[in-house]
Chain A
């Protein structure tokens, strides 16, 4: 650290003050995120039932995965969800941002409307959808009936239940939407202008100018979304579809919660949580390095 700081010693006091400002964040995240994650990683190699101290059992927890049908179910469901919901959300955020990136009161209302569902607290949001998806008198089925279509058992059948949870998550793409809007407006207008005068069509403008400029923001959004979507379905799956029917909306967070707190197999649950983290990091790192060569502008750093 010291050699990174300037040799102008008058500024070293300033840098000390900056470090002080950084301290709460660093100390806090160390204690509240870094240490717990490390403990969790370590506990993944133990057998711990919360009553007596943890016992090392090396890789036994990981071997148990092979035989644990419920784990495989939860893993499959979570993987399905992440692979489908994240691209949809990111794409949706991008497209909506491109569509609504213009001035005018009506478009302002549109932007606000898109952001609103994100602000609804989890529990209230799940309850609203519980009402909307009720097979007998929920608004969704009432709407379908008004259009002459038959009702669908949204929380009753496996595939509709998955669709329900996904749609609920998609409705909350507002945060990403705002991020995309900001990134869109960062694109220098003169480059676009030159492209126009050169006769580039819409697709070419998008592919060769807009997209490359958007890449850092897209990456950040995707990273965050991958991490969030592992955990984000917890309340929805619990309250709206009750992890059913028959475990079709039973995701890894539910599994970990049940294992840790319901069955007191906390070491085993920690191993699963560690898996979620490792997979998230792997996806994020993979995306980062795959896309790095596309970056034209040092916009992120």
Chain B
């Protein structure tokens, strides 16, 4: 009896093992090489990638690309780390240049200079310099950029028209912007509470930095080898104060309670917020969800100079991959004309490939109609410093920005705290980078 049951249990377990193993083939029956391509996309954007992947698979029967998506940023990095620790990494990832520092420095990424040299279809010169340079490390090209996304302003055309406010122009200034924002912040039903806000902007370093640059300042003391933040001095502090005053003084942005009740992006999508700061990544979602009003994109206002911040994702081959050549073939497709065109049409990207960016595939990809904005600003796009500890710096800095933004502390106090709290991270970065 005991023996019979034990046999049953063993059989049952074996069945389970077989059934479960059946979920993870690495060679399809046709003998095609399977590449795992890990991405970090929201559902609307994912469909864009899926369609391009299908096109590639159809055109290249010897290679099968499988998309592995993890929508959450942090989970994506964590899974990647766990995979690398266990030596089961994906072959190819699409990674934001902000997050790539630790992986590059620890040698987990395969440099692609040789692939570029041998490639017949794509060369570094085909891409915008800012995007290509963002993925260079110690002179080596680590990844191939997909896009030259930048922070710009999505705006609700109908709300502008209803309030009789002139639409943003190419050269509009901080003063113009503020006046516009104020005119669009209204109490529409007369109950004493603001129902419509002029502006929605995240309380993050990557939103603040363009304003510091525009005002003529810098966030760190040295872009190549930063040793500390300089947010608490001079020009940078002035810009910070202006940024914080959007909520504290001018009240054109939702306050803490309002933002917690319904966040700015939701308000924009529901038509109760006029101008929302975000990079190109929001476009597919807006196309899918906004049905009730016309919207477009406008450039950031300028101050002493024009500036905006780079948001770029790049295709990186992982060094531990055994199918690097196949992965490069896929990169040639995705980052080359074919893939760039397809993705540009979905609205997800501002192509880093110059030829496609200047073609109708991108320019006529609407809404938004004002796609030229991204190309006009291409020279004014600036990258973040490349640091192994950038995410920690950002995290600490974002806390202080939030504090000041809600008015819990003054901008000067927050700036000072930010400088102090991030000192250790800059130190560690210098150690990681080694000697120059």
Chain B 393-404, CB within 8 Å of chain A: the 1/0 string?
Answer: 000000100110
Q: Shortest Cβ distance from B321 into chain A, in angstroms?
A: 15
Asked whether any CB of chain B lies closer than 8 Å to the CB of A50, the reply is yes
Q: Shortest Cβ distance from A7 into chain B, in angstroms?
A: 24
Q: Shortest Cβ distance from B189 into chain A, in angstroms?
A: 15
Asked whether any CB of chain B lies closer than 8 Å to the CB of A261, the reply is yes
From A20, A50, A156, A246, give the contact of B85 (CB < 8 A).
A50
From B106, B257, B402, give the contact of A153 (CB < 8 A).
B257
Q: Shortest Cβ distance from A141 into chain B, in angstroms?
A: 10
Chain B 317-329, CB within 8 Å of chain A: the 1/0 string?
Answer: 0000000000000
Q: Shortest Cβ distance from A117 into chain B, in angstroms?
A: 24
Quick check: which of B35-43, B73-81, B241-249, B349-357 contacts chain A, the rest being far away?
B73-81
Interface residues of B: mostly helix, strand, loop or mixed? helix
Cβ of B85 and Cβ of A51 under 8 Å apart? Answer: yes
Cβ of A246 and Cβ of B256 under 8 Å apart? Answer: no
Q: Shortest Cβ distance from B14 into chain A, in angstroms?
A: 15
Cβ of A261 and Cβ of B78 under 8 Å apart? Answer: yes
Q: Shortest Cβ distance from A158 into chain B, in angstroms?
A: 10
Number of interface residues of B (CB under 8 A): 25
From A51, A153, A246, give the contact of B107 (CB < 8 A).
A51
Cβ of B77 and Cβ of A17 under 8 Å apart? Answer: no
Instruction: Please judge, given known A-B contacts A262-B77, A264-B81, whether A156 and B108 are in contact too, CB under 8 Å.
Output: no
Asked whether any CB of chain B lies closer than 8 Å to the CB of A247, the reply is yes
Asked whether any CB of chain B lies closer than 8 Å to the CB of A263, the reply is yes
Asked whether any CB of chain B lies closer than 8 Å to the CB of A103, the reply is no
Cβ of B260 and Cβ of A134 under 8 Å apart? Answer: yes
Asked whether any CB of chain B lies closer than 8 Å to the CB of A135, the reply is yes
Q: Shortest Cβ distance from B419 into chain A, in angstroms?
A: 15
CA distance A301 to B360 in the complex (A): 80
CA distance A137 to B258 in the complex (A): 11
Chain A 47-59, CB within 8 Å of chain B: the 1/0 string?
Answer: 0011110000000
Q: Shortest Cβ distance from B88 into chain A, in angstroms?
A: 12
Instruction: Please judge, given known A-B contacts A51-B106, A51-B107, A156-B257, whether A246 and B81 are in contact too, CB under 8 Å.
Output: no
Cβ of A262 and Cβ of B78 under 8 Å apart? Answer: yes
Residues in chain B near residue A246, CB distance under 8 A: 399, 402-403
Q: How many residue-residue contacts, CB under 8 A, span A and B?
A: 54
Cβ of B392 and Cβ of A134 under 8 Å apart? Answer: no
Asked whether any CB of chain A lies closer than 8 Å to the CB of B114, the reply is no
- Report B72-125 residues with CB < 8 Å from chain A CB: 74, 77-78, 81-82, 84-85, 102, 106-108
Residues in chain B near residue A261, CB distance under 8 A: 74, 77-78, 81-82
Number of interface residues of A (CB under 8 A): 23
Cβ of A153 and Cβ of B256 under 8 Å apart? Answer: yes
Asked whether any CB of chain A lies closer than 8 Å to the CB of B262, the reply is yes
Instruction: Please judge, given known A-B contacts A261-B77, A262-B74, whether A153 and B399 are in contact too, CB under 8 Å.
Output: no
Q: Shortest Cβ distance from B236 into chain A, in angstroms?
A: 22
CA distance A49 to B432 in the complex (A): 13
Cβ of A153 and Cβ of B260 under 8 Å apart? Answer: yes
Asked whether any CB of chain A lies closer than 8 Å to the CB of B2, the reply is yes
CA distance A247 to B77 in the complex (A): 21
Residues in chain A near residue B424, CB distance under 8 A: 67
Chain B 115-158, CB within 8 Å of chain A: the 1/0 string?
Answer: 00000000000000000000000000000000000000000000
- Report A40-84 residues with CB < 8 Å from chain B CB: 49-52, 67, 69
Residues in chain B near residue A266, CB distance under 8 A: 85
Q: Shortest Cβ distance from B106 into chain A, in angstroms?
A: 4
Asked whether any CB of chain B lies closer than 8 Å to the CB of A36, the reply is no
Candidate in A136, A257, A263, A266 with the most chain B CB atoms within 10 angstroms? A263
Asked whether any CB of chain B lies closer than 8 Å to the CB of A155, the reply is yes
CA distance A155 to B108 in the complex (A): 39
Residues in chain B near residue A156, CB distance under 8 A: 256-257, 260
Cβ of B2 and Cβ of A50 under 8 Å apart? Answer: no
Interface residues of A: mostly helix, strand, loop or mixed? loop
From A50, A134, A262, give the contact of B391 (CB < 8 A).
A262
Asked whether any CB of chain A lies closer than 8 Å to the CB of B261, the reply is yes
CA distance A262 to B403 in the complex (A): 23
- Report A103-139 residues with CB < 8 Å from chain B CB: 134-137
Cβ of B399 and Cβ of A136 under 8 Å apart? Answer: no
Residues in chain A near residue B262, CB distance under 8 A: 136
CA distance A155 to B256 in the complex (A): 10
Closest to A245 in B: B402
Cβ of B260 and Cβ of A263 under 8 Å apart? Answer: no
Q: Shortest Cβ distance from B5 into chain A, in angstroms?
A: 11
Cβ of B399 and Cβ of A137 under 8 Å apart? Answer: no
Residues in chain A near residue B81, CB distance under 8 A: 50, 261, 264
CA distance A155 to B260 in the complex (A): 8
- Report A256-287 residues with CB < 8 Å from chain B CB: 257, 261-264, 266
From A52, A136, A257, A263, give the contact of B261 (CB < 8 A).
A136
Residues in chain A near residue B256, CB distance under 8 A: 153, 156
Residues in chain A near residue B78, CB distance under 8 A: 257, 261-262
Q: Shortest Cβ distance from B219 into chain A, in angstroms?
A: 21
CA distance A67 to B424 in the complex (A): 10
Q: Shortest Cβ distance from A249 into chain B, in angstroms?
A: 14
CA distance A247 to B396 in the complex (A): 11
Closest to A50 in B: B85
Chain A 6-37, CB within 8 Å of chain B: the 1/0 string?
Answer: 00000000000100100000000000000000
Instruction: Please judge, given known A-B contacts A50-B84, A156-B256, whether A135 and B261 are in contact too, CB under 8 Å.
Output: yes
CA distance A51 to B89 in the complex (A): 11
CA distance A247 to B402 in the complex (A): 12
CA distance A153 to B81 in the complex (A): 36
CA distance A156 to B257 in the complex (A): 7
- Report B400-431 residues with CB < 8 Å from chain A CB: 402-403, 421, 424
Candidate in B106, B260, B392, B402 with the most chain A CB atoms within 10 angstroms? B260
CA distance A236 to B376 in the complex (A): 45
Q: Shortest Cβ distance from B409 into chain A, in angstroms?
A: 10
Closest to B6 in A: A20
Cβ of A51 and Cβ of B261 under 8 Å apart? Answer: no
The 9 sampled A-B contact pairs (Cβ below 8 Å) are: A20-B2, A51-B84, A153-B256, A156-B256, A156-B257, A261-B77, A261-B82, A262-B77, A263-B102
Chain A residues proximal to chain B, CB less than 8 Å: 17, 20, 49-52, 67, 69, 134-137, 153, 155-156, 246-247, 257, 261-264, 266
User: 10 smallest A-B Cβ distances: which pairs?
Assistant: A136-B261, A261-B78, A50-B85, A51-B106, A135-B260, A135-B257, A261-B81, A50-B81, A156-B256, A135-B261
Q: List 14 additional A-B contacts (Cβ < 8 Å) besides A51-B107, A261-B74.
A: A52-B106, A135-B257, A136-B260, A137-B261, A155-B260, A246-B399, A246-B402, A246-B403, A247-B399, A257-B78, A261-B77, A261-B82, A263-B102, A263-B391
